Structure formats: C-alpha cells, structure tokens
Amino acid sequence: MRGPHNIWRLVRTGATLERTGAMPVVLEAFSAPPSVRLAARILGWPFKWLGYKGDPSQPPATRALTALGPAYIKFGQVLSTRPDVVGDELAAQLRVLQDKLPPFPLSEAREAVERALEIETDTLFSSFSEPVAAASIAQVHRARLAETGQEVAVKVLRPGIERAFRKDVDAFYLAARIVDLLAPQARRLKPMDVIRHFDGVVQGELDLRMESSALAEFAANTEADEGFRVPAIIWGASARRVMTLGWAEGVPANDIAAIEAAGHDRRALGERVLQLFLKHALRDGFFHADMHQGNLKIAPDGDIIALDFGIMGRLDEYTRRVYAEILFGFIRKDYKRVAEVHFEAGYVPADRDVDEFARALRSVGEPIFGMDASRISMGRLLSYLFEVTERFGMETRTELILLQRTMVVVEGVSRSLNPQINIWEVARPVVEEYIRDNIGPKALVRDLRKTAVVLARFGPKLPGMAEAALIAQSRPAEPPRPARLPWIVVGAALTLGAMGIGVLAGQML
C-alpha cells in the first residue's frame, strides 16, 4: 500500500499548495523547469478542493506546510537552513515556521514514560505536570524527581510519530524521484540528497538518546564558558522516547520587556550571544544550529541558557581554520589573502585567476563594510561570498551553509537585544584569539605532537613489516619487484623521529 499512499499524499500536498497560494512561490524558489511546473499543476489544480485551507494570516509557504502537518513543518525548518537550495526569500519565510501543535493527553505521556523507562511514573516523579510545550515531534512536561526533589523537564515523543514521519518521508522520496525523472536539469539541486539529509535529521530527532548525547557533548565543551550554561541530562531517566534534563528557570530571550524589568544588560547580552556562538563554532567545531530566541532563556543571574539540541552543527578542525582565516581577512579587508585561502583549501579550482577572484571578493566586502554599523551583517557577507565562490566553481559545502544560516539567526537574536550592535567589532576578538592559538608556531607544535601520536601507533608493527619485506625479496621464483625494505627503514625512522618530536612538543606545551 506504500505506492498508493505516496501518490495520494502528493496529490493532497499539491492541492494544499494550490489552495494556499504557495505553489508559485515554491516553483519559483526552485527555478522549476516547465515539465515540473506542468506536473505540479496536474497534481494540484484539479484537486484544489482537497487541499487544506491553513491559516490565511500566514505567508503562503508557511501556511501550506503548517496545514500539512508535523513532517512538513519539520521539512520546512530543515529547508530553511539551505538557502542554496530554496533561495533566500523562501528560506526567510520558512525560518518563521512555528513548530507548535496541540498537546497529546497527559495520560498517554505518562504511559509512554513508563514503557520507555520501565518504572511507574509516580515512583520516579513526585509530580508530573500537564504539557508546558508541544511541538511536532515531542512535548515537554515539568516534573520533580522523587528521589532528589530536583525540578526537571521531561521530553516525550508523540505516540506513533515514527510511523507518521516514515509515511511522509516515503512520499518525499517519491517526489524527489519524479523531479529527477521529469527535470534532469534540476538535478543540480540534488533533490534525493536533500531528502536524505532531511531523513537523517529526523531520524536523529526521533531517537532522544542522540539529542541527549549532543547535549552532554555540548555541555562538556562549554562548561567553562562564563555567562552561559545548558541543562544537565538525567541519564537514569532518559531513553529512546523520553529525555529528562534539569529545569531551566529564566526569561525567554524574545521577551525584551521582561529582560529589561529584570535589570539585565541588553547590550552585554547581545554581544555575549554572538561571541559564544563564534567560540563554539571555531574553538569546539560543535555548535547549536537552532539558536533562535525560543531556544534561549536569560537566567535570574544573567546567564544565557540554551535549550533544544536536536539540530547541531559540526566543523572539522581544518575547515575551522579556513573559515577563521576568511573571516579575519575580511575584517582586515585583505581580499588577496581571502582569495589565497580559498585556493589553498581547494575550495576554488586551481585554474581560476586568484587576482580576479580577489577583485570579486572586494565587491562583496566593501559594500557591507560601507554600511552603518547597525546594518553590517556577517551572515549577509557569507551569503554573498557563497554566490561569488559558486561563480568561480566552488561546490556547495553543506556544513558552511548551516553555519551561515545559524549566523543569520544568531545575529537576529543579538540585534533584538542590542539594535546598535557592531557585528564585526564584537566578533573581532574571538576570531583574533582563535587565529593566534590555532594558526602559527603554537599550532604547528600541537599538530606535530598529534602526528607523532598517530605515527607512534605503528611502532609495534614495524618489525613484522620489515620481516615480511625481507622474506618477499628472498623468493627467487617470483618476478623481480622493487625493493620495499628502504621504505620500511624510512618509515621506522619517521616514526621514531615523530615520537621524539611528540616528546619535545609535549615539553614545550
């Protein structure tokens, strides 16, 4: 029955897009070719009466996806992180999608907790409230641990949510295959890859153990960050469908009046939000990728509390160094160096002209730096940068697109707290500190030490490798082969030398 269900779901989707007026918006955002536009009209217009009406007060795309249900809401949120796929205008619409749905009954939540944790709810918790928040995938209850009296938040997956998402994701895959079949020129958007990415994000959010793990890693990384904290995970009361963490008391970051009434310094909070995000992205390579006001609270002591760790971003160490050098080059307006970094990293093909690329980068940076301080945007700079690099042959890098999207969101939070914030002046000390610690002699010594550790692991294998090489050379029946023994000797020498460097680096550090 999966095939008929998928077809029916796509018909209902097309009808809803038509009825809400979202169809032309979506087709234009994807630059859909005539064949896809025709197929969309066939699926949508004749069955328009079958579509959901949605909330007329919302923008067309937001209205349609909200009406279609949880999987579509989540899909829209994920697509909002990919302006390279849906365009800036539609991405901006999708960013305001409200992931809020009516809660399911308290009795069902208690049953779900008991099944997942294999213990009576009243035994584990001395109190367990009605839902305090309900989203597409899960809802949250306030509770108190019976053993310790600690106030906690208990996140519980919606009943049957896995099956519901699976059905809709199957329909998304069918839609991607149709696009591949009818519009080969649209394959540049990689529709199947987009759906696979969404599928991976959803599967991670449908297993709360993954979110718990992300929270634990993020907490360990940020433990020493002044003015910032995250709730502690309660592992003994968490499982695949239930997640329990410490209750976070504070004012929502979007309640400016309450923040002012509590006497918090909005200017300092705005700067801290931005600097913390950059520290997490550059220093740790692991950042909160959904850092909007709804996922931030201001504690009574002024600390910023982050919530909801279902979407996290990760950058490897090399990418972080490249990204930092690019930002630092723009801060200093050294466009030639920014261009060279792109070539050195292999982001731009080597056969392109570095000077021409530097001139293109200047056309990106100068207009932004010429703006009033309150309008300067690092997120806008990165967006324009990707447009230029694409023209010079740079392939889309998903991790940088996610970083750019999150940067836009974080800038929005910072400006809501401090409208006059100068993004570049606030970011500069964080980027400079990272450059100082990770690019230069100190970083070279640390890299050599890491290399020595890796090479030293092969030490125990060297005698066996040398013996095997000698035996292979002594077999007259085999055709002559290039001598391998010298390379074994070189390998041994390199390993021993690297071990020595590792010892020296350890002493220097």
Known catalytic residues? 290
Here the tokens at position 288 are 């909160």
Which token pair is 328?
């630092």
Which amino acid is it at 245?
Answer: L
C-alpha span between 177 and 173 (Å, rounded): 6
Token pair recorded at residue 88? 């800036």
- Between CA 139 and CA 146, with CA 141 as vertex, the angle to 5 degrees is 145
Among the listed residues 304, 222, 295, the one whose alpha carbon sits nearest the alpha carbon of residue 266: 304
Whole-angstrom distance, CA of residue 176 vs CA of residue 470? 56
Torsion angle in degrees (nearest 10) through CA of 272, 276, 279, 284: 160
Count CA within 13 A, CB hemisphere, residue 123.
Answer: 7
Q: How far apart are CA 268 and CA 301, in angstroms?
A: 13
Q: CB-hemisphere CA count at 13 Å for 436?
A: 6
**Dist. CA 129–CA 237, nearest whole Å:** 16
Cα Rg of the chain, angstroms: 27
Other Cβ atoms within 10 Å of 245 Cβ, number: 25
Q: Per DSSP, which regions of 299-444 are E strands?
A: 304-306, 312-314
- Please give the Cα distance from 48 to 51 (Å, whole number): 5
Distance (Å) of CA 288 to CA 55, 92, 221, 243? 30, 19, 12, 18
Cα distance between residue 307 and residue 464, in whole Å: 53
| Number of other residues whose CB lies within 10 A of the CB of residue 461 | 11
